[in-house]
């Protein structure tokens, strides 16, 4: 069963190469979908880190306290 999974992954990568895609598709606005903003460096208060932006910046979201 494990070999089947490996073969499917290899087939998927081969099909991507044949289609001209050299990397996995990545959403462009992943940070904005997380209600975040891109900042250079690390996130400072009142923001906290939720991911990484496409340009290498940190995706930071504002901390909401109740």
**Reported pTM:** 0.51
Coil, strand, or helix at residue 31? Answer: helix
**Strand pairing partners for 51?**
59
Question: H or E element: which one contains 17?
Answer: helix 2-18
Domains and CATH numbers, the chain: 25-62 (3.10.360.10)
- pLDDT truncated to tens, each residue of the chain (66 aa)? 788 888 888 877 777 766 665 555 555 578 888 888 899 999 988 899 998 888 889 999 988 766
User: From the CA atom positions of the chain, what is the Rg in Å?
Assistant: 18
**Cα dihedral 17, 23, 28, 30 in deg (nearest 10):** 130
């Amino acid at each position: 069963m494990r070999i089947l999974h490996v073969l499917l992954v290899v087939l998927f990568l081969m099909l991507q190469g044949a289609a001209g895609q050299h990397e996995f598709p990545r959403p462009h606005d992943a940070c904005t979908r997380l209600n975040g903003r891109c900042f250079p460096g690390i996130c400072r208060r009142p923001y906290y880190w939720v991911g990484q932006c496409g340009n290498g910046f940190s995706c930071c979201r504002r901390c909401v306290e109740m």
